[in-house]
């Protein structure tokens, strides 16, 4: 049944607020973007349209890319409940790394005339991006979004998806704007005027306390939103590490191997045997569907508030207050993986966590590189291409890259988060509440592993018995691993590894 926006007060109904709204979404092909599309079309069925900023890729046009995305299992529930709503998706050709978002004059005018809500979720999240590309994709794009939004005739809300780690120099991050690391205007000018080589020379100095170009560029982007909030109804949402869905549209949905997801898969398959982190540091992970609900509720709240030049910038830390340590999470993953094992494990699932770089380097040689060399030789002599040494080098680099975050712990204020949660209309809480404080962590991890097997690795859940039998054969290897390591490690380290 459709919502009659003439009879239902938008302040008392989130779906009623979105009825008739035209949304402009950046990053629709990303993890967050896909789940956002699904949630809006299913839970806010009377939304007018969603413009999707997309670029052609791998020989596919934007329409072909959209069609491929909509064929994902993520949209099965929507396909069943509201199939006609797919017609509300309008792909717009563009690229956040290009000046002016790469928009044509015609498309720009359409957006100016019709868009009422902007969700800027696009970002390059790679830690090793060049400074130039990170500034273009994450900082300049945010400026250009704000410039475009200024021309929009009926804008109600502009929501920027930042990161909880945009201000890593503050061990306690409040829900407010912070002074930027550098002048964003000057940094955009520098990125546009200097070549890659020259910029690379100055990168370390430019970054200051930021550990990588991603954090640096996102920090600057927040200062842009802060500046434009004097003219626009802006809000900032800061999620930490986004992981598989807890509930919607299905438990365990995931389509991206990155960060902790890649690490846990590697551990579960026995590929990764050593992790560079402080085992007692708490991970701040949050399910993707929780983030989407926060974004929708923030946009609703911002859109209901009459805007003036005196309006405060709404900032919300979308973080998890129920964090667990790396050590706890790894043990839980291994425990659940005994019930729902991965297929084709290559070694006994086991991992040593260390915050000592020297130990990490030595163990990488012993547990990753030397076995990889041996396996690659076997592959080469059997006529197959060697690949494991190259993979292990990437694992080492990735481990070191994220060690800045896995060695440190941040705390986050959640005053605005709690206030926003309490403002959700009672009739909408089942659909939009982002309170998951009572969730079962083990059940969530189990659903996440099932999701990885289904949506990422395409493993058949009917083959679990075969996977368990395969895994049991590798348990005997643990004895030989312990003998091997005993030649190199002190007894206390050996006990940690061999249990």
Residue that is written with structure tokens 């973007």 in the block = 33
For residue 270, give Cα distances in angstroms to 159, 284, 373: 41, 24, 16
Q: Which helix (H) or strand (E) holds 253?
A: none
Residue ranges with strand state E in 217-263? 234-238, 241-243
Task: State the pLDDT at residue 7.
Answer: 63
Task: State the pLDDT at residue 376.
Answer: 87
Place domain 14-256+284-321+410-449 in its CATH homologous superfamily. NAD(P)-binding Rossmann-like Domain (3.40.50.720)
Closest CA to 180 of 163, 200, 166: 166
Task: State the pLDDT at residue 400.
Answer: 84
pLDDT in tens, 223-247: 999 999 999 999 999 999 999 999 9
Domain residue extents for the chain: 14-256+284-321+410-449
Task: State the pLDDT at residue 464.
Answer: 65
Residue 211 structure tokens: 């550990």
- Convert 174-207 into a string of H (helix), E (strand) and C (coil): CCCCCCCCCCHHHHHHHHHHCCHHHHHHHHHHHH
Residue 129 structure tokens: 């991006």
DSSP designation for 6: T
Under 8 Å between Cβ of 271 and 391: yes
Task: State the pLDDT at residue 239.
Answer: 96
Per-residue exposure over 308-345, b if at least 16 CB sit within 10 Å of its own CB, e if not: eeeeebbbbbbbbeebebbbebbebbbebbeebbbbeb
* Residues written for the chain: 499
Task: State the pLDDT at residue 467.
Answer: 58
Task: State the pLDDT at residue 469.
Answer: 62
Q: Are strands 282-283 and 324-325 parallel, antiparallel or unpaired?
A: antiparallel
Q: What is the pLDDT along the chain (499 residues), one digit of tens a residue?
A: 444 444 678 888 999 999 999 999 999 999 999 999 999 999 999 999 999 999 998 889 999 999 999 999 999 999 999 999 999 999 999 999 999 999 999 999 999 999 999 999 999 988 889 999 999 999 999 999 999 999 999 999 999 999 999 999 999 999 999 999 999 999 999 999 998 888 888 888 889 889 999 999 999 999 999 999 999 999 999 999 999 999 999 999 998 877 677 888 888 888 888 888 999 999 899 999 999 999 999 999 999 987 665 567 999 999 988 888 989 988 888 888 888 888 877 777 788 899 999 999 999 998 889 888 988 898 888 888 888 888 888 888 888 888 899 999 999 999 999 999 999 999 999 999 998 888 888 999 999 999 998 898 888 877 766 655 655 555 545 444 544 444 444 444 434 444 4
Closest CA to 333 of 283, 299, 408, 389: 283
Q: What is d(CA 495, CA 206) in angstroms, rounded to the nearest whole number?
A: 44
Q: How many helices (H) and strands (E) does the chain have?
A: 22, 15
Closest CA to 182 of 162, 201, 205, 206: 206
Residue that is written with structure tokens 């964090």 in the block = 323
Residue that is written with structure tokens 């912070």 in the block = 178
């Amino acid at each position: 049944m459709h919502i009659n926006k003439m009879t239902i007060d938008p302040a008392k109904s989130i779906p009623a607020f979105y009825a008739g709204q035209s949304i402009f979404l950046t990053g629709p092909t990303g993890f967050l973007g896909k789940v956002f599309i699904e949630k809006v079309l299913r839970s806010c069925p009377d939304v007018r349209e969603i413009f999707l900023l997309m670029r052609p890729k791998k020989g596919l046009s934007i329409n072909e890319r959209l069609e491929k995305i909509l064929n994902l299992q993520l949209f099965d529930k929507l396909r069943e409940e509201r199939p006609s709503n797919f017609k509300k998706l309008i792909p717009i050709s563009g690229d956040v790394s290009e000046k002016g978002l790469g928009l044509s004059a015609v498309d720009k005018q359409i957006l100016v005339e019709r868009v009422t809500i902007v969700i800027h979720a696009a970002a390059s999240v790679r830690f090793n991006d060049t400074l130039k590309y990170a500034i273009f994709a994450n900082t300049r794009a945010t400026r250009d979004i704000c410039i475009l939004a200024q021309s929009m005739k009926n804008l109600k809300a502009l929501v920027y998806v930042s990161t909880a780690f945009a201000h890593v120099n503050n061990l306690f991050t409040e829900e407010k704007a912070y002074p930027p690391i550098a002048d964003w205007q000057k940094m955009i000018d520098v990125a546009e005027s200097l070549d890659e080589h020259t910029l690379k020379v100055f990168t370390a100095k430019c970054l200051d306390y930021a550990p990588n170009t991603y954090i640096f560029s996102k920090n600057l982007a927040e200062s842009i939103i802060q500046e434009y909030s004097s003219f626009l109804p802006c809000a900032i949402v800061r999620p930490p590490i986004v992981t598989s869905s807890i509930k919607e549209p299905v438990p365990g949905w995931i389509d991206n191997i990155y960060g902790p997801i890649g690490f846990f898969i590697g551990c579960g398959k026995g590929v990764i045997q050593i992790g560079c982190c402080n085992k007692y540091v708490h991970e701040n992970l949050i399910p993707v569907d929780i983030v989407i609900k926060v974004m929708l509720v923030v946009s609703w709240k911002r859109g209901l508030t009459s805007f003036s030049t005196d309006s405060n910038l709404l900032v919300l830390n979308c973080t998890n207050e129920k964090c667990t340590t790396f050590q706890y999470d790894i043990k839980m993953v291994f425990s659940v993986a005994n019930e729902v094992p991965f297929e084709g494990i290559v070694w006994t699932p086991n991992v040593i966590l260390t915050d000592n770089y020297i130990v990490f380097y030595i163990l990488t040689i012993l547990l990753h590189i030397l076995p990889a060399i041996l396996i690659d030789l076997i592959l080469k002599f059997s006529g197959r291409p060697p690949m494991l040494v190259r993979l292990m080098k990437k694992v080492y680099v990735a481990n070191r890259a994220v060690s800045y975050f896995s060695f440190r712990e941040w705390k986050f204020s959640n005053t605005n988060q709690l206030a926003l949660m309490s403002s959700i209309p009672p009739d909408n809480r089942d659909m939009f509440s982002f309170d998951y404080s009572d969730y079962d962590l083990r059940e969530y991890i189990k659903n996440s592993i099932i999701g990885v097997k289904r949506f990422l690795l395409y493993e058949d859940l009917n083959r679990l018995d075969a996977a368990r039998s395969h895994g049991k054969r590798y348990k005997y290897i643990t004895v030989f691993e312990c003998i091997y390591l005993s030649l190199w490690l002190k007894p206390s380290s050996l006990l940690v590894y061999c249990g």
